[in-house]
Amino acid sequence: MPAGRPVPTPAVRATEAMFAGGGELGRLMSTTDWGTTAFGPVDRWPALLRDTVAMVLANPVPMSLMWGEDLLQLYNDAYRDLLGGRHPEALGRSVLRVWPDAETTIAPVVRQVVDTGTARRLIDQPFVVNRHGGPEDLFATIAYSPVRDGDRVAGVLAILVDTTDQVRSARRLTTLHRLADTSREASDTTTDHEVCEWLMRALAANPQDVPFALVYLVEERGVRAHLAASTGLTHDSPALDQLVTSERPAAWPLHKSMRTAEPQVVEDLLTRFPGMVSGTWPQPPHTAVILPISPIRDGVPAALLVLGVSSHAPFDAAHRQFFDLIAERVAATLTAARIDREQKRQMAALADLNRAKNLFLAGLSHEFRTPLTLVLLPLEEQLTTLPAEHRDTARIAHRNALRLLRMVNTLLAFSELEQGRDPRVVEDVEDLAGLTTDLAGVLRPAIERANLALVVDCPPLDRPVRLDRAMWETVVLSLLSNALKHTFTGSITIALGSRQHHVELVVTDTGTGIDPAEIPHLFTRFHRIEGAKARSREGSGIGLALVRQLVGLHHGSIRVRSEPDLGSTFTVWIPYAQPQHAQRPAPARSAEEKARMRQAFAEEAESWLVGDEPAVLPSAPGRRATVLVVDDNADMRNYLRRMLSDQYDVLTAAGGDQALDRLAGRGADLIIGDVVVPDLDGVRLVERVRADPSLRAIPIILLTALGTSSQAVRGAHDVLVKPFTARELFARVEAQLALRRVRNATAERPGSGASAADV
């Protein structure tokens, strides 16, 4: 050891060892004159105090030792960082003097530890510290442990875990959840102002992180903005600028954000708004953020959100991200509310349109019944009085008048159901099996004529069924008609059975089946399955939709199972026990009315099966022009044939594929075809004919029921709108045949260099 240097005593060496590992606090404590404090000289400190202080100073976790009855405080570097501006005055002082509210928060817990010798814990205890140049909220979970000196507690050791970030994050997450809940609650609001008020109420629940908030709705493409709602400011605050325009000064610099749609940080609130009162602390916010709210169209935001920054929280990256999330939530809520309002407006408009449509259909259906009656009655009279040679024409008219009557009745029933009316006249039907068997007999002739087997399995039921007879007839006949329409070989089976709680009707066919993708749409009104093989593509498109509504009106259900090319099964369930229905007198249905309704179904089914008349051979010498008629309606096909056969040779086809077969076998000078036919429709038939060099020159007249000849089909030479007169049809036919003769003559002229097919 060098000469002249004193040898340290054991006490000095112990003191140096105690402070040696304590970092900055250790160095500070080693130079402190503890003899002038309540602790007294260090060499007189008890060993327990020395050992505990050495452990505290060497620990990286924030720790504070409160010693003696006065709870004198010693701490380490990590704890010093939490004290902020209270260091170094806090060193060696009573903890009760360091923290202003310690007497009500810390002291009771510490005294309990001293009195009982049992450790205690405070979770997320709030403090206010000054560690970043200003006051700041701090939260810590503190474990208080007794420091024992034999049987007595000489001090209390406090170990702190800083939970400030977790507390703030949880609080801010709660605010974002509250805003999300507000989005759902605000969906029923009628204006943007109401939505903004809902949002402000959600933000008002967190004044610690959002001391105040304002939302401005931007109008006239950024020319002006008005205050929609606010929170956290008094009603007379100068910060509540109600209207912002380009012509007048504003309390907030909103014009720039309206022009650029960029966020702004405003840091001069204390000078901009002297005396502002806001938030939970005496110190008002000194900073605010202006955030543009989407959607941003043409560079102009839909709204501007002004958020105040708490005076007790640093405006760090996490704080800014929280504000950005608030802005996103506000934007989403405003957008969702606007979309919801627009959807409701559209739904209301559609509902009005639907009501108007239903009223129109109902009125139109009623109006149709009078002229239909005046058509049917004379036709039915003439069917018994006309000579046999004219009876076929009257029978065609009568059959199609009945079909039109059925369509009118279907439209009327559907419109009544769409308007929410309940037109049922229910009664206890004792012999539903007999009624169903009778209804199957209505379509038996047509089914057997189609070379199909009809199997009826309707044994008597064990109890009556409460339902509307007319509606049941519609359900049964519609399902049987649908089966016949799509079944070409095999059989159709109708079965009725009693189950425990309901009656079950099953209609099964061995027809073309249904693609699985189409089944969910099968009962949708006006839905048609494109390309489906059927005896006819005619109809209103609401038959199965009406069946489902009629079944549902009886609190029943309908299900379909189908496989392509194997057939379909429709199953209807009607419960025996149904809710009580208000009784009303049943309108008298005459036998003629019931017979006419059933006959309408039968006649329409028969029309799908009417065959072509025998070929009409030329009666005059020389070649006559050949006309090919393509239509899936047999009555229309045969009627056109009868009209044209006096002057032309007429071929007929029920669909596009059959038409091509006819052309391949004999050819034709003119084609008259309906736009809507099975297999290959009129449009594609035109394309196939034009693509074949041997057929390209054949003129084509398309028949359409679309209601306007302006919807001409490319490739057709002419379009004739139904209904048309015989004179108009003959004029069009003669014109096209004459044009063809001219084209042929031009093509055959020497030196023309063209064939008839090219002209």
Pick the CATH number of 422-607 from 3.90.1150.10, 3.30.450.40, 3.40.50.2300, 3.30.565.10: 3.30.565.10
- The more confidently predicted of residues 579 and 157 is 157
Helix/strand/coil for 333 = helix
Residue that has been written with the tokens 């009209």 in this structure = 643
- Is residue 759's pLDDT more than 50? no
Q: Are 703 and 675 in contact (CB under 8 A)?
A: yes
**Helices (H), ranges, 246-316:** 254-260, 269-272
Positions of CATH 3.30.450.40 in the chain: 170-344
Tens digit of each residue's pLDDT (9 = 90 or more) over 656-680: 888 898 888 778 999 998 887 777 7
Positions of CATH 3.40.50.2300 in the chain: 626-748
pTM above 0.85, yes or no: no
186-195, 405-414, 434-443, 492-501: segment of lowest average pLDDT: 405-414
In sequence order, the 6+-apart residues with CB closer than 8 A to the CB of 20 are: 26
Q: What helix, strand, coil percent values describe the chain, rounded to 5?
A: 45, 20, 35
Tens digit of each residue's pLDDT (9 = 90 or more) over 463-513: 899 888 888 988 999 899 889 988 999 999 999 999 888 999 999 999 988
pLDDT of residue 14: 63
Task: Give percent of the chain with pLDDT exceeding 70.
Answer: 84
* 53 confidence band (pLDDT: 50, 70, 90): very high
pLDDT of residue 296: 84
In sequence order, the 6+-apart residues with CB closer than 8 A to the CB of 498 are: 461, 462, 463, 504
- The more confidently predicted of residues 636 and 495 is 495
Please, which residues bridge with residue 148 across strands?
153
pLDDT of residue 418: 65
pLDDT of residue 518: 83
- Is residue 758's pLDDT more than 60? no
- The more confidently predicted of residues 528 and 67 is 67
Helix (H) or strand (E) holding 701: strand 700-704
Q: What is the mean pLDDT of residues 355-377?
A: 69
Q: What count of other Cβ atoms lies within 10 Å of the Cβ of residue 142?
A: 22
Q: What is the mean pLDDT of residues 241-259?
A: 83
Distances (CA, A) of 506 to 438, 524, 570, 574: 16, 20, 6, 12
- Is residue 96's pLDDT more than 90? no
- Is residue 363's pLDDT more than 80? no
pLDDT of residue 580: 63
Helix (H) or strand (E) holding 673: strand 670-674
In sequence order, the 6+-apart residues with CB closer than 8 A to the CB of 740 are: 669, 670, 697, 698, 699
436-445, 670-679, 695-704, 707-716: segment of lowest average pLDDT: 707-716
- Is residue 621's pLDDT more than 80? no
pLDDT of residue 517: 83
Q: What is the mean pLDDT of residues 47-54?
A: 92
- Is residue 446's pLDDT more than 70? yes
Helix (H) or strand (E) holding 653: strand 649-653
Which amino acid would we find at residue 26?
Answer: G
Positions of CATH 3.30.450.20 in the chain: 10-162
Query: For 170-344, which CATH class?
Result: alpha beta
Positions of CATH 3.30.565.10 in the chain: 422-607
Q: What is the mean pLDDT of residues 106-125?
A: 91
- Please state which CATH number belongs to domain 10-162: 3.30.450.20
* 73 confidence band (pLDDT: 50, 70, 90): very high
- The more confidently predicted of residues 108 and 597 is 108
- Is residue 568's pLDDT more than 60? yes
- Is residue 1's pLDDT more than 60? no
Tens digit of each residue's pLDDT (9 = 90 or more) over 373-404: 777 777 777 777 778 777 777 777 777 777 77
Pick the CATH number of 626-748 from 3.30.1360.170, 3.40.50.2300, 3.40.630.30, 1.20.1260.10: 3.40.50.2300
* 20 confidence band (pLDDT: 50, 70, 90): confident
- The more confidently predicted of residues 341 and 171 is 171
Task: Give percent of the chain with pLDDT exceeding 90.
Answer: 32
Tens digit of each residue's pLDDT (9 = 90 or more) over 321-334: 999 999 999 998 88
Average pLDDT, the chain: 83
- 569-598 burial, b for 16+ CB within 10 Å, e for fewer? bbbbbbbeeeeeeeeeeeeeeeeeeeebbb
CA 759, CA 754: separation in Å to the nearest integer? 7
Q: Are 413 and 553 in contact (CB under 8 A)?
A: no
pLDDT of residue 321: 94
- The more confidently predicted of residues 602 and 240 is 240
- Is residue 576's pLDDT more than 90? no
Tens digit of each residue's pLDDT (9 = 90 or more) over 283-300: 889 899 999 998 888 888
- The more confidently predicted of residues 698 and 710 is 698
- Is residue 354's pLDDT more than 60? yes
Q: Are 549 and 529 in contact (CB under 8 A)?
A: no
